Amino acid sequence: MIKSLRSDRGSAVVDFVLVGPLLIGLALVVVQIGLALHVHTTLTAAAAEGARVAAMAGSNPGLGEERARAVLAGNVAESTIDSVDVTTLFDSGVGFTEVTINAHVPLVGLIGPSMMSVHGRAIQEHV
């Protein structure tokens, strides 16, 4: 009788039931952080590229927005992009073109940011 009480039979199932949900939750957190970082990096690259195109001599803000959307088209789902805005700013007599992209971050779980806004700036070229 004492020998059967010391047996470890069946303890693996209990361990899995106790630890399994924690591991699944941790995996979802890692996937969500990775997805948010991917979206943020892609948005930042698209904003910077759009600002560079819009700031070139002889260019216009429409070309910058078009370029930013083209960079995003192959990397992020179109439904996640909320808006792409191109503005011209002046600071101490120097003109800047700024591209702002607002997007929704797709959620794997119920954690993390749901909206993200990034900016890209470039100094305007003159002919």
pLDDT confidence band for 98 (50 / 70 / 90): very high
- Which of the following CATH numbers is that of domain 2-123: 3.40.50, 3.40.190, 3.30.1300, 1.10.10? 3.30.1300
**What pLDDT, on the 0 to 100 scale, is given for residue 35?**
84
- Which two three-digit tokens encode residue 91? 């600071």
pLDDT at res. 33: 85
Nearest-angstrom CA–CA distance, 87 and 103: 18
- Least confident residue range of 8-17, 42-51, 98-107: 8-17
Judge whether residue 56 has pLDDT over 60: yes
- pLDDT for the residue numbered 6: 65
Query: How far is 56 from 106, CA to CA, in rounded Å?
Result: 33
Question: Distance between CA atoms of 7 and 114, rounded to whole angstroms?
Answer: 49
b/e sequence 98-123, b meaning 16+ C-beta within 10 Å: bbbbebebeebeeeeeeebebebbbe
